[in-house]
Chain A
Amino acid sequence: MAKHHVSTTINGDPAEFLCDTQQTLLDCLRDELQMTGSKEGCASGDCGACSVMLNGRLVCACLVLGVEADGATIDTIEGVAQGDELHPLQKHFLDEAALQCGVCTPGFIVAAKALLEENPDPTETEVRYWLAGNLCRCTGYDKIIRAVMNAAAEMRGA
């Protein structure tokens, strides 16, 4: 059985992998490329734990076929920090205790980063609706929303 040979750019670096048609981008990231920062919580696009950027757009990696990534640009949680320098969102998630178990955290950070790139000064309501596709069962979202708002303020230089 011939697998697809997929060439992509992930977090700025060229990456190649082989996959079957039915393997999702999430399967490929986790199983073929050993990038396990993106999590599978539902495999149906309902939890957002596998949030990644595909050609600059926020998507659930569980709803993209790996083979669709051929020629695409992908950004994942693994590329959010620059070396050992954390992104302001990551710092604020730590400072505001915006994670308990932490399994949803990578998805939230990728999704929130996409929001702040599009809207650097979101209202609380805008943050809540943008992140409605990221489920968290531990925190009740309160500290997550605060962390995103505070990171946004810091990034605006406010």
Chain B
Amino acid sequence: MSFGGNVSEIQFATPQTVKEAVKCLAGAKGRAKVLAGGTDLLVQLRAGMVRPALIVDIKHIPELSAVKREDGGFRVGAAVSGAELGANKAFRKAWPGVLEGLELIGSTQIQGRASLGGNLCNGSPAADSVPGLIAAGATCKIAGPKGTREAKVEDVVAGPGKTTLKPGEFVVSFFLPKRPKHAGDAYLRMIPRTEMDIAVVGAAVSLEFDAKGVCTDARVSLGAVAPKALLVKAAGKALVGSKLDDDALEAMAAACRAACNPIDDKRGTIEYRTKVAGVLAKRAARIALERAQA
């Protein structure tokens, strides 16, 4: 802020290609913010938490707004809204748990705008779509001044409000792999109301089974129980080789509880989050099993 003068201006850019966007971000005089659905950025702007020199709207870049099949899996643009992805029946069939996470972000109105890319890059430990993506083994394509790279979703967030993205980098798209025959995923979260809240605890489970119903692969991810969403490998391990009997589920829940490293805050306590992480992981695993059997 310069005083004795005018208020500072915020520039706005609408690049049409990834290359242009990289150039825009690199050329910013001061702080630049990437705008996808805007459901976090606009709140921060209004609250005065950020006042960037430049806002780059990436929604005009075709790659950012497209959902495509790739290698039997899906390539989802980082700015695709929940409402758009939800309308894709093939995606809903393959990755219902991922979609559950995305669709739990905010209201119908928020669904018209909120995206996987925005939810991830906002860096909230409670982001609803992130555990589902991590459990799914999703990766993302990141563009920046040094070209593009692929990263595991669990490696993008560094901690509350912080990402591992380097200056000038942004997420272009997500890749969700092909689903084998007997597979299912699910995401559950605990909120005080039925809608409109931030997760107090979130749990996503993605499972694969062989023809006999024995679990061959399991990935369990927890949200809001640590500085960032966790991939709880021990929890997955507890399920592999089982048919999700009660003992296996309890072992998985115990692994989840052990992995929790939450805080006491306005939304929950350490004790609550730890206990409920196990409860939700079990429930999500049962839903994922049902889906795999369907």
Contact = CB atoms under 8 A, between A and B. Distances in A.
Direct contact of A and B (CB under 8 A): yes
Interface of A: 1, 4, 20-22, 24, 43-46, 48, 51, 54, 57-60, 62-65, 67-68, 111, 114-115, 129-134
Contacts, number: 91
A20 B55 CA distance: 12
Nearest to B83: A57
Contacts of B35: 65, 68
A130 B37 CA distance: 19
Contacts of B38: 63-65, 68
24 contacts: A4-B12, A21-B10, A21-B55, A22-B10, A24-B46, A43-B43, A45-B107, A57-B113, A58-B109, A59-B112, A62-B42, A63-B37, A63-B39, A65-B12, A65-B57, A68-B38, A68-B59, A114-B108, A115-B108, A132-B108, A132-B195, A132-B196, A133-B109, A133-B196
Interface string B7-18: 001111000000
Nearest to B9: A1
A22 B35 CA distance: 12
A133 B195 contact: yes
A15 B11 CA distance: 23
Given A1-B6, A22-B51, 8 more contacts: A4-B12, A21-B11, A44-B47, A63-B43, A65-B57, A68-B35, A68-B59, A114-B108
Interface of B: 6, 9-12, 35, 37-39, 42-43, 45-47, 51, 55, 57, 59, 81, 83, 106-110, 112-113, 194-196
Contact of B108 (A4, A43, A62, A133): A133
Nearest to B55: A21
B112 A57 contact: yes
A65 B109 contact: no
Nearest to A43: B46
Contacts of A68: 35, 38, 57, 59
Contacts of A111: 108-109
A24 B196 contact: no
A130 B12 contact: no
Per DSSP, are chain A's interface residues mostly helix, strand or loop, or mixed? mixed
B106 A133 contact: yes
Contacts of B59: 68
A1 B7 CA distance: 10
A51 B107 CA distance: 11
A130 B46 contact: no
Contacts of B109: 45, 48, 51, 58-60, 63, 111, 133
Contacts of B81: 57
B42 A67 contact: no
Contacts of A57: 81, 83, 112-113
Contact of B110 (A63, A65, A114): A63
A74 B59 CA distance: 17
Given A48-B109, A60-B109, A130-B108, A20 B10 contact: yes
Nearest to A60: B109
A45 B39 contact: yes
A7 B55 CA distance: 19
A45 B197 CA distance: 12
Contacts of B113: 57, 59-60, 63-64
B106 A24 contact: no
Contacts of B107: 45, 48, 60, 132-134
B9 A44 contact: no
B155 to A, nearest CB: 29
A67 to B, nearest CB: 5
A45 B38 CA distance: 10
Contact of B196 (A1, A46, A62): A46
A75 to B, nearest CB: 13
Contacts of B110: 45, 60, 63, 133
